[in-house]
Amino acid sequence: MEVKVAGRWRRILARGAGPASRVPGGRAGGVAPVFHVRGVVAYLRWRTFNTAEWESLYGFQFARAMEHEAPKLVFRAACEYLSTSRLVRPGVVNVLEHVATARVRAREETSLNLALLLTGRVRADEIGWLSDQR
């Protein structure tokens, strides 16, 4: 089955095509995966991550975690956030680690906020209840 490629795509993909000797890390007679991905990213005008994007993503995940959403929902929301921001998603493990970190920070923030409101016996009961929930 032959796939028809539009003219601009053909030029982008042709840059990485060629024998393995001409394409670093390439396979004989094919397009190197890195060159293909770079071409697609450039064509779609997506961006890669820098420090500001990581901080923005972390803030977004923290806000979702503060709403006490499940990790799966926080991960899905993060993926949707990345696609609407036109950012290339980093590795899944990186995103999951950030979800876990955001949830830990949200749990600590919730405990601090509750500690200011609770006193004496109520605080002891509440802290026991929170530790049972983990």
Neighbours of 95 (CB within 10 A): 18
Q: How many domains does the chain have?
A: 2
Rounded CA-CA distance 26/116 in Å is 60
* 31 & 61 share domain: no
- Is residue 3 over pLDDT 50? no
In this prediction, residue 91 carries a pLDDT of: 83
Rounded CA-CA distance 81/76 in Å is 9
Give the pTM: 0.57
The per-residue pLDDT for range 19-47, each reduced to its tens digit, is 444 445 545 555 566 677 778 788 888 88
Give me the domain span that covers residue 35: 7-44
Tell whether 96 is covered by a domain.
Answer: yes
* 126 & 77 share domain: yes
